[in-house]
Homo-oligomer: A and B are copies of this chain.
Amino acid sequence: MSRSRERPYHHGDLRAALLSAALTLLRERGPDGITLREAAKRAGVSHAAPYHHFPDKSGLIEALAIACFEAFANALERAWLTAPGPSMERFRAVGLAYVQYGLDHPAEFRLMNRPELRHAPPTTDGAAREETAVAAAARKPYELLLTAIAACQADGFIAHGDREPLALTAWVSVHGLTVVLIDGLLGPATRKDGDRLAYQVTQTLGDGLLRR
């Protein structure tokens, strides 16, 4: 974000330090546990200092959510690019990576999917509401999914045609599994449980998606 220097201006990079502190808070206390005052305290500054770097509390949280999405999208892309085997297997690997990332980073996953971050507040005038920055950051994972499906179509694993319904079903299932595991709706789940269930779900889905 800011260029690196040996001993920079005042704190150095308070913006990054605040984001880092907020991430720690997020992991310790969940999305609602993030506090401007506590983030400032952990960054070693007074509680009014953050206002020089973020317009308000929601500004900090938005920036954090965007950073979370970037890390998440990178993890998925890595899975897609590095998984071995044919495209259908690499597609499944993305699904597994999705679930694993959620189990490894539950608080980030919850923050990323907070509905209030996706929708701009209603405009006072009649202007069309713009896409929020978080919503834009959320598009990358979904586009990767479409890419993967297109590759599976090109390789003959999935019938050609509109990708949206397929992507929707696949994404909804994997996302649903992740939510359910994170929230402990099936009881306490280990990462191994997640792998097993994700394999199960992608298998069942695959049977439904595969060309015959």
Residue of B119, B173, B185 near A138 (CB, 8 A) is B185
Q: Does A201 contact B (CB under 8 A)?
A: yes
Given the interface contacts A32-B32, A207-B207, A207-B208, does A201 sit within 8 Å of B185 by beta carbon? no
* Contacts of A174-203 to chain B: CB distance below 8 A: 174-177, 179-180, 182-186, 197, 200-201
Q: In the complex, which range does the number of interface residues on chain A fall in?
A: 20 to 34
Closest to A169 in B: B204
Please report whether the interface of chain A is mostly helix, strand, loop or mixed according to DSSP.
helix
Cross-chain contact B119 with A168 (CB below 8 angstroms): no
In the assembled complex, the Cα of A169 lies from the Cα of B118 at a distance in Å of 27
**Is the beta-carbon distance between A118 and B185 smaller than 8 angstroms?**
yes
Inside 8 A of A180's CB, which chain B residues have their CB? 171-172, 175-176
Which residues of chain B come closer than 8 Å to A118, judged between CB atoms? 183-185
- How many Å lie between the Cα of A166 and that of B197 in the bound state? 11
| Interface flag for A165 (CB, 8 Å) | yes
User: In the assembly, how many copies of this chain are there?
Assistant: 2
- Which of chain B's residues has its CB closest to A174's CB? B176
The 0/1 profile, CB within 8 Å of B marked 1, for residues 127-158 of chain A is 00000000000100000000000000000000
Within the complex, what minimum Cβ distance (angstroms) separates A143 from chain B? 14
Instruction: Collect the chain B residues with CB atoms within 8 Å of residue A24's CB.
Output: none
| Cβ 8 A contact of A169, one of B32, B183, B184, B200 | B200
Closest B residue, CB atoms, query A209: B204
Contacts known (A176-B179, A206-B208, A208-B204); A184 close to B32, Cβ less than 8 A: no
| 7 shortest interchain CB distances as A-B pairs | A176-B176, A208-B208, A207-B208, A115-B183, A173-B173, A169-B204, A172-B176
Write the residues of chain A forming the contact surface with B, with a CB cutoff of 8 angstroms.
Answer: 32, 113-115, 118-119, 138, 165-166, 168-169, 171-177, 179-180, 182-186, 197, 200-201, 204-209
A-B contact pairs, 13 of them (CB 8 A): A32-B32, A114-B183, A115-B182, A115-B183, A118-B183, A138-B185, A168-B201, A172-B177, A173-B173, A175-B179, A176-B180, A179-B179, A208-B208
